[in-house]
Amino acid sequence: METIRLDYLKTFQIVGKTRSFSTAAKELQITQGAVSHHIAALEEYFGAELFKRAANGVEVTEAGGILAKAAEKIFAEVENAKIEISETKQKLAGVIGINVSSIPGEHIIPSLVAEFQKKHPDVRFKIRAEDSINSLQNLLNGGVDFAAVGTIKGYSEKIETLELGEEELVFIVPNNHELANKKSIKLNDITKYPYVNREETSGTRKEIERILQDSGISPLRLKITMELGSTESVVTAVSEGRGISIISSIASKKAQAAGLVRVLHLEGAETTRKLYMARPKRPLMKVSEAFWDFCKKYTPQTASKR
User: For residue range 29-43, what is the model confidence (pLDDT) as tens digits?
Assistant: 999 999 999 999 999
In the chain, CATH 3.40.190.10 covers 89-165+273-302, 167-271
Mean pLDDT, residues 95-107 = 91
Gap between the Cα atoms of 225 and 211, Å rounded: 20
User: For residue range 53-79, what is the model confidence (pLDDT) as tens digits?
Assistant: 988 899 999 999 999 999 999 999 998
Q: Which CATH architecture has domain 6-87?
A: Orthogonal Bundle (1.10)
Q: What is the pLDDT of residue 254?
A: 87
Q: What is the pLDDT of residue 89?
A: 60
> Rounded to 10 degrees, what is the CA torsion of 30, 34, 39, 41?
-140
Q: Output the pTM of the full model.
A: 0.63
CATH topology of domain 167-271: D-Maltodextrin-Binding Protein; domain 2 (3.40.190)
Gap between the Cα atoms of 136 and 60, Å rounded: 26
Please name the residue ranges forming H helices in the chain.
6-18, 21-28, 32-46, 62-88, 102-107, 109-119, 132-140, 203-214, 231-239, 249-257, 286-296
Are 274 and 149 within 8 A, CB to CB? no
In 3D space, the residue among 128, 125, 132 whose CA is nearest the CA of residue 248 turns out to be 132
In the chain, CATH 1.10.10.10 covers 6-87
234 pLDDT above the threshold of 90: yes
261 pLDDT above the threshold of 80: yes
Provide CATH code, domain 89-165+273-302: 3.40.190.10
User: For residue range 137-192, what is the model confidence (pLDDT) as tens digits?
Assistant: 999 999 999 999 988 988 989 999 999 988 889 999 999 999 999 999 998 888 99
